[in-house]
């Protein structure tokens, strides 16, 4: 097949590589000329994705994959076009920001030819594929969905850093606007993906047809919103436990010892492109989902709550030097999307602290570019707030932060034995340990 992938980001480029590695001719489209040039040179434009570089090294010289900024070059005659342009959420209103996907859809429509399967993989509010993007495709192309081309929604369900493994591990969900669209989508994804055996699943791993675009859209939103709500519940339990002298981690371990409980862990922040964002996409079409809204608000409040607890412990943070450990939104990943570092730094600054940031994955210049003053281990500081559960921090000791008066461990990641004698607040536990 001739396949086009629109938007060569941390999901789109691995998808394009996966399709090409499965024996198809793939063209990637991206608005960033630097990304296009890197791909065509066989160089990964971002680090950290397992096996991406080695696959590019093989596929680019073989002519199975190339990149362009030109839709007119890529789209006409394509058997399938997969779109993974981003959809964001307005931080003020909570409403979806479709500008990038709108632009991609309009550019695709201008060059769409009969016989193409169009698959949206970016997470979308329920109903968006049918009511927003399909009319745009028809208006821009003069073609008719269901007769001249077919539209399917098939959410990506992968985690950056392990995309190729996740593509094999999880069922590929599809939902089209017609029975013929579902048939075409099944044939397409069965031709470009390979699946691991999963005896734990109720039916064989592979392409799972949910029947409609709305069901497929909701499945992606539901599985991610579940995680945010679960973390919110864990944070609520953690706040209560801390106020009543209970170790919430022992409670969670006990609860999860039977199969009907799967409580997540509390933490200072929920970051990344997915978990903080997709519940708001869900809320955009289900404003009565109070449980979702409450969990999102509680999770967003955790940096402020833990910094306030530090202020109560020390009496005041004014004039103190504070170091936030970790800029990334999660351990081992060089990504700051919706990272808790931003509200944590702000909460410390609001209380008069002089704030610096450390992260083993970022250079000092990269931290400055993010708006932070960098910190080096070994420099004095009065308070440390662990925001990211990087592996390096598991062996962190007070001697590495001379003069530290308090550690706020927002991930329960540090070793209590190494911190004996130094006040240490751990999310979900009482007092100082």
Catalytic residue positions, numbered? 220, 274
Round to whole Å and give the CA distance between 115 and 112: 9
Helices (H), 179-334: 179-192, 213-243, 248-255, 278-283, 290-314
Crossing angle for the helix pair 248-255 and 213-243, to the nearest 10 degrees: 130
Q: Which two tokens stand for residue 203?
A: 């039916």
Lay out the sheet containing 321-325: strands in order across.
354-358, 321-325, 383-386, 406-409, 424-426
Round to whole Å and give the CA distance between 96 and 52: 30
For 290, other C-beta atoms within 10 Å of its C-beta total 9
Element (H, E) at 119: strand 117-120
Lay out the sheet containing 172-176: strands in order across.
65-68, 25-29, 2-6, 80-83, 117-120, 150-153, 172-176, 207-209
List of long-range contacts for 53-57, beta carbons under 8 Å, 24+ apart = 55/17, 55/21, 55/164, 56/17
Round to whole Å and give the CA distance between 175 and 214: 7
Q: Which two tokens stand for residue 98?
A: 């479709």
**Would the CA dihedral through 178, 183, 186, 187 be positive or negative?**
negative
> Which string of DSSP letters, residue by residue, matches 331-356?
TT----TT-THHHHHHHHHHTT-EEE
Round to whole Å and give the CA distance between 65 and 97: 30
């Amino acid at each position: 097949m001739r396949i086009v992938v629109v938007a060569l980001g941390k999901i789109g480029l691995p998808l394009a590589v996966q399709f090409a590695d499965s024996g198809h001719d793939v063209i990637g489209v991206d608005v960033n000329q630097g990304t296009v040039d890197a791909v065509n040179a066989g160089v990964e434009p971002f680090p950290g994705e397992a096996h991406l570089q080695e696959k590019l090294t093989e596929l680019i010289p073989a002519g199975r994959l190339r990149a362009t900024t030109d839709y007119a070059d890529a789209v006409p005659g394509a058997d399938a076009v997969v779109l993974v342009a981003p959809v964001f959420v307005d931080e003020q209103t909570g409403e979806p920001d479709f500008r990038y996907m709108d632009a991609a859809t309009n550019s695709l429509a201008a060059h769409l030819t009969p016989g193409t399967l169009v698959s949206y993989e970016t997470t979308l509010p329920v109903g968006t594929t049918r009511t927003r993007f399909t009319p745009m495709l028809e208006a821009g192309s003069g073609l008719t969905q269901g007769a001249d081309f077919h539209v399917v929604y098939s959410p990506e369900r992968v985690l950056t850093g392990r995309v190729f493994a996740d593509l094999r591990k999880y069922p590929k969900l599809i939902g089209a606007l017609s029975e013929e669209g579902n048939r075409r989508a099944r044939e397409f994804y069965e031709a470009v993906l390979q699946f691991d055996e999963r005896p734990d699943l109720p039916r064989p791993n592979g392409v799972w047809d949910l029947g409609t675009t709305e069901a497929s859209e909701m499945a992606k939103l539901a599985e991610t919103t579940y995680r945010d709500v679960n973390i919110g519940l864990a944070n609520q339990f953690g706040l209560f436990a801390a106020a009543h002298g209970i170790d919430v981690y022992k409670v969670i371990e006990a609860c999860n010892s039977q199969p009907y409980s799967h409580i997540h862990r509390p933490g200072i922040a929920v970051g990344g492109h997915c978990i903080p964002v997709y519940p708001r996409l869900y809320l955009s079409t289900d404003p009565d989902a109070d449980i979702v809204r409450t969990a999102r608000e509680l999770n967003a409040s955790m940096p402020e709550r833990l910094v306030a607890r530090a202020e109560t412990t020390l009496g005041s943070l004014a004039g103190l030097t504070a170091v936030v450990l970790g800029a990334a939104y999660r351990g081992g990943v060089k990504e700051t999307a919706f990272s808790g570092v931003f509200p944590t730094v702000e909460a410390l600054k609001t209380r008069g602290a002089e704030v610096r940031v450390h992260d083993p994955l970022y250079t000092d210049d990269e931290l400055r570019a993010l708006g932070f003053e960098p910190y080096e281990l070994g420099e004095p500081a009065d308070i440390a707030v662990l925001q990211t559960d990087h592996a390096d921090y598991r062996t962190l000791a007070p001697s590495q932060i001379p003069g530290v008066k308090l550690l706020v461990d927002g991930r329960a990641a540090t070793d209590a034995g190494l911190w004996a004698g130094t006040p240490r607040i751990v999310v979900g536990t009482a007092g100082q340990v």
